[in-house]
Amino acid sequence: MRRFLALSALIWLASSVCGHAQSSMQPDRAKIDTLMRRYAGDIPGASLLVVRDGKAIVRRGFGYADLEKHTKADPTTNYRLASISKQFTAACILLLHQDGKLRLEDPVRKWLPELPASDENITVRNLLTHTSGLIDYEDLIPPERTTQIDDNDVLRMIALQHRLYFQPGSAHRYSNGGFVLLGLIVQRISGMDLADYMKKRIFQPLGMQYTLMYEHDRGPNVINRAYGYSEIDGKWTKTDQDVTSATRGDGGIYSSVDDLAKWDAALYTDGLLNAESRRLAFTPAEPIADPDVDYGFGWRLSGDTVWHSGESIGFRNIIIRWPKQHLAVILLSNRNEFQPYPLALTIGQLFLDR
Q: Which domains does the chain have, with CATH numbers?
A: 12-60+73-349 (3.40.710.10)
Contacts 24+ apart (CB under 8 A), 29-34: 31/350, 32/58, 32/60, 32/347
Residue 354: pLDDT band (50, 70, 90) is: low
Calpha distance 236→173 (Å, rounded): 33
Are the beta carbons of 75 and 60 closer than 8 angstroms? yes
Calpha distance 179→19 (Å, rounded): 38
Residue 287: pLDDT band (50, 70, 90) is: confident
The identity of residue 82, as a single letter, is A
The predicted structure's pLDDT at residue 60? 98
Cβ neighbours of residue 37 closer than 8 Å, sequence gap 6 or more: none
Cα angle for residues 340, 70, 332 (degrees, 5° grid): 20
Q: What is the pLDDT of residues 127-158, one digit of tens each?
A: 999 999 999 999 999 999 999 999 999 999 99
In DSSP terms, 317 is beta-bridged to 310, 332
The predicted structure's pLDDT at residue 26? 59
Q: What is the pLDDT of residues 192-218, one digit of tens each?
A: 999 999 999 999 999 999 999 987 767
Are the beta carbons of 144 and 116 closer than 8 angstroms? no
Q: What is the mean pLDDT of the chain?
A: 92
Instruction: Enumerate the active-site residues.
Output: 83
> Would the pTM count as exceeding 0.95?
no
Q: Is the model more confident about 10 or about 68?
A: 68
CA pseudo-torsion sign 223, 75, 83, 111: negative
How far out from the chain centre does Cα 150 lie?
A: 18
The predicted structure's pLDDT at residue 11? 35
The predicted structure's pLDDT at residue 289? 72
